[in-house]
Structure 1
Amino acid sequence: MTKMNFNKNDYDKFQTLDELEKEIFSEDEINDIHARALKRAKARNEMTEAVSKALIQYMASHHLGFNQFKKQLHMSSATLAKILKGNSNLTLDTIAEISEATGLKISLHIG
């Protein structure tokens, strides 16, 4: 990757981040950065979707309503709603807390 030293005045000449990006990186580098970002986003979405589906199944099999489940998990309504919709950027701590509160075994397969 290209490294350039910019000061505050240099940044003022750019109207958008796209313009700055084009100044710093080659077209190939930009395409690579964007492709890697899309790949990470897809992987993150697949993981959050898997957690969401597992929790919805857990709620159904244990006949839990939303309010009961949020109390069991010690979560706010907003946090649980985001998780159930698959719109949460889950941390490892949150996943561990969910596992502990539900007894669900959550595993990560790499490879």
Structure 2
Amino acid sequence: MTTKMNFSEKDFDSFQSLDDLEKELFSEDEINDIHKRALKRSKARNDMTEALSKALIQYMAQNHLGFNDFKKQLHMSSATLSKILKGNSNITLDTIAEISEVTGLKIDLHIGSRY
């Protein structure tokens, strides 16, 4: 990628939007590539959070756990657990490991070719 990074603070103030800055820094092909890669990452992240969400909802049902009991079991705030259960969380590996430890669920990260 080619970037033109010699901007002063005054230059940055002249941009009306992030899109204007993006167009100044990158070619149209580079912008399209950046957006495609971002969409792929977003889909992959959404797939993973959705899988975790479904597994935890199933775990709660199988163990007759309500939201508040599960939140206490995980030592997690209502907001954090709610985001995880809705699939709206950018969850850390540490939190995933903690969930696995508390629930006894085996949570694997498989790394390999998609093809």
TM-score by length of 1: 0.97
Please show how residues 1-111 of structure 1 align to structure 2 within 5 Å. Answer: 1-4=1-4, 5-111=6-112
Structure-1 separation of matches of 2:60 and 2:69: 9
Deviations 1:40-80 (A, max 9, x none): 00000000000000000100111111111001100011111
Structure 2 unaligned residues grouped into runs of 5+: none
Cα deviations by residue, 1:14-65 (Å, 9 ceiling, x for unpaired): 1111011111100000000000000000000000000000000100111111
Deviating above 4 A after TM superposition, structure 1's stretches of 4 or more consecutive aligned residues are none
SS for the counterpart of 1:12 is helix
Count of residues paired in the alignment: 111
Q: Distance in 2 between matches of 1:73 and 1:12?
A: 46
- Residue identity over aligned pairs, in percent, reads 81
- Shift, 1:10, TM fit: 1.2
TM-score, structure 2 as length reference: 0.94
Alpha-carbon distance in 2 for matches of 1:75, 1:108:
22
Separation (CA, whole Å) in 2 of partners of 1:105 and 1:7? 51
Cα distance in structure 2, aligned partners of 1:79 and 1:20? 34
Q: Distance in 2 between matches of 1:97 and 1:7?
A: 46
